[in-house]
Amino acid sequence: MQDIEYGFGQHLMLDGYGCNPKKLKDINGIYDFLSRYPDEIHMTKIMPPYVFKYSGQVPEDWGISGFVLIAESHISIHTFPEKMYLSLDIFSCKPFDAQAAIDHIKEIFEIEKVEIKILDRGHEFPKVIRRVQHFVRDERARMSA
């Protein structure tokens, strides 16, 4: 029997400090980034990006937020131009070069400092269901009994 492969995918979380505020407030630039970036990391965009300006109770907390669904999961961004900060997530069930993504995003938004978290999500998610179908069938039978 072949080894069963587990794991859903990689989740890159990037917090950027000292970003170029002009880039953080450019709603068209954020839209263009979300529209083209899936191709750049070899992912499949399945809808146009959704991007909007947010203005909250605290005036300096305004910013641009955007999201694009990809077949492999999603890419999201939230910017805070007055604070020169952004948070960005890339979550994908398909492997991608996280370090190349980090380097490219730092360059695009002219980020001075980053905090990075990379999680492996879904540790028990079976990648190939045919290899574990007997486990699933037994578990379903046990649950219905």
Q: Kindly list the catalytic residues.
A: 73, 78, 93
The residue assigned the tokens 């005036």 is: 59
Task: Please enumerate in sequence order all residues whose Cβ is within 8 A of that of 71, keeping only pairs 6 or more positions apart, or say none.
Answer: 43, 44, 46
Beta strands in 1-145 (DSSP E): 9-17, 50-54, 63-70, 73-80, 85-92, 113-121
Residue 51, judged by CB atoms within 10 A of its CB (0-12, 13-18, 19+), counts as: buried
